[in-house]
Amino acid sequence: MDYSPKKTKELLEKHDFKFKKKFGQNFIIDENIINAIINKSNIDKDTLVIEIGPGSGALTNKLALSAKEVLCYEIDTKLKEILASNLENHKNVKVIFEDFLKRDIFNDIKNYDYKKLFVVANLPYYITTPIILKLIEDNINPNKIVVMVQKEVGDRFRAKPGTKDYNSLSIFINYFYDVKKIMDISKNVFIPKPNVDSIVVEFNRIEKKLSLKDKELFFKLIYDSFRQKRKTIKNNLQGYDLEIIEKILLKNNFSLGSRAEQIPIEVFVEIANNLVK
Ligand code: SAM
């Protein structure tokens, strides 16, 4: 595959491809950036990689060289021929032309034989949060997630209690994963050029985590606690056993008058575990 920006543009033009804003299409045209992402990802021949949004296949091509197999989801069927042409030398890549958010991923990967599951992608920005939540909630449990996202979204992933960015998403992510920034990416390495810079973040699954008795209940508790951010735990958790919740909050120096954004993950875990019948 030829990575020069000129060749990329020529191929897209040859297939009469028009970028679609509604699909968050900003393609990377800098091979060095792609190499850096691949190097940092530590993919090997035991790894199945899921890529969301291969675009013209710039990242996919290099993923295929390092991984055992690559499974991609691309919503835009207009990219079919371009992808076929750019990926023709790889037998270990499959592209499913469908909305990632609507697929049963668990079912898609069940017949693959692999030791590690990674997600590596330059994400479509308009659905970054739903994609991450789907990866966590649908029990897909990747060992590692390496994603390029808008800078301020990436900062939110790492938010700490008491800050304005701390929310249900940051709790889910930080409960299951260690999150770290890998690199900054200038908006100049994309066509078309987006309005903001990006960062690449890496999530490594935490193997020894606090023991959660009921994952579904934990998710529901967190969603309900943050339902109305300005309201207190007492107001947001009407219908729960407030006596149990209050006991745990007081033990940890909080109260029913506290707001969800002040409460650390381990206290939520303790509450969830004590609510299990
Ligand atoms: N990976 C390519 C690259 O880095 O050059 C393209 C990245 S571009 C930011 C995002 C890609 O995600 C586009 O190809 C877009 O069509 C695709 N996409 C957008 N929404 C999607 C969805 N719901 N499911 C699957 N792919 C989607």
Phi, psi for 65 (deg, rounded to 5): -70, -30
Pocket of ligand 1 contains residue 237 by CB under 6 Å: no
Decide if 5-205 and 215-275 have a common fold.
Answer: no
Do 51 and 70 contact (CB within 8 A), yes or no?
yes
Atom 11, ligand 1: residue with shortest CA distance: 53
Question: Is the pLDDT assigned to residue 129 strictly greater than 80?
Answer: yes
The residue-averaged pLDDT of 124-129 equals: 94
Cβ neighbors of 86 (< 8 A, separation 6 or more) are 1, 11, 56, 57, 58, 60, 61
Q: Does domain 215-275 have CATH number 3.90.180.10?
A: no
Across residues 187-197, what is the average pLDDT? 94
Q: Per-residue pLDDT tens for 69-85?
A: 999 999 999 999 999 99
* pLDDT recorded at residue 104: 96
Answer whether 38 contacts ligand 1 (Cβ < 6 A): no
Instruction: Give the pLDDT mean for 167-195.
Output: 93
Give this prediction's pTM: 0.93
Mean pLDDT of 244-271: 97
Mean pLDDT of 174-199: 94
Identify the pLDDT of residue 208: 65
Mean pLDDT of 193-204: 95
Given this model, what pLDDT does residue 99 score? 98
Give the whole-angstrom CA distance, residue 162 versus residue 141.
28
**Where are the domains positioned within the chain?**
5-205, 215-275
Mean pLDDT computed over 1-7:
84
What average pLDDT is seen over the chain? 94
What confidence tier does 210 reach under pLDDT thresholds 50, 70, 90?
low
Going from the Cα of 232 to the center of ligand 1, the distance in angstroms, rounded, reads 38
Half-sphere exposure of 210 (CA within 13 A, CB side): 17
Per-residue pLDDT tens for 31-69?
Answer: 999 999 999 999 999 999 999 999 999 999 999 999 999
d(CA 221, CA 206): 21
- Judge whether residue 144 has pLDDT over 90: yes
pLDDT number for residue 94? 98
Q: Which CATH superfamily is domain 5-205 in?
A: Vaccinia Virus protein VP39 (3.40.50.150)
The CA 145 to ligand 1 mean position distance, Å, reads: 16
* Distance (Å) from CA 212 to ligand 1 centroid: 34
- Return the pLDDT at 270: 96
Residue 53: partners with Cβ closer than 8 Å, 6 or more residues away: 23, 24, 72, 73, 74, 75, 100, 121, 122, 123, 124
